[in-house]
Amino acid sequence: MKYLLIIDMLPAYGLVCYLLVSICITLSFRWLAHACEDRRRLRFTVIALLVGSLSVALLVGCAYTIAMPYAQPDMVDFYRTYHPAAFVFLTGLFCVQSVFGVAAVQAPLNRHNA
């Protein structure tokens, strides 16, 4: 392994990118829950952010699967070993975002009932 090609690190970069996207979306849900009073607009925004997040997760999953065979041999073994864990990671992050999104939509309702 004389040099590290970008294709060698592309799956890892994709996972880190999605981690950052999910952190930003989760924080935006918390902010939206406090800032937005209109439930219809809030629900539309939450759904749009979740659809965008899902598309990024699918793109990262495809990039992981497509780039994996083209990496150097030692990296191919590494990525093949962690292939199932990568998809569990992506699914878990999306589920966390979904929970925060539902909580953000329910927050104005709970605030008005209190």
Residue-by-residue DSSP string for 74-110: HHHHHHHHTHHHHHHHHHHHHHHHHHHHHHHHHHHHH
Cα–Cα distance list, 111 to 10, 16, 90, 100 (Å): 44, 35, 32, 16
| pLDDT per residue as tens digits for the range 61-105 | 999 999 888 888 888 888 889 999 999 999 999 999 999 999 999
Domain boundaries, the chain: 6-113
Looking at residue 71, the DSSP 8-state letter turns out to be S
Q: Yes or no: say if 32 and 43 are a contact pair by the CB < 8 Å rule.
A: no
CA angle (84 as vertex; 2, 98 as ends), nearest 5? 120
| pLDDT per residue as tens digits for the range 23-59 | 999 999 999 988 888 888 999 999 999 999 999 999 9
pTM, to two decimals: 0.85
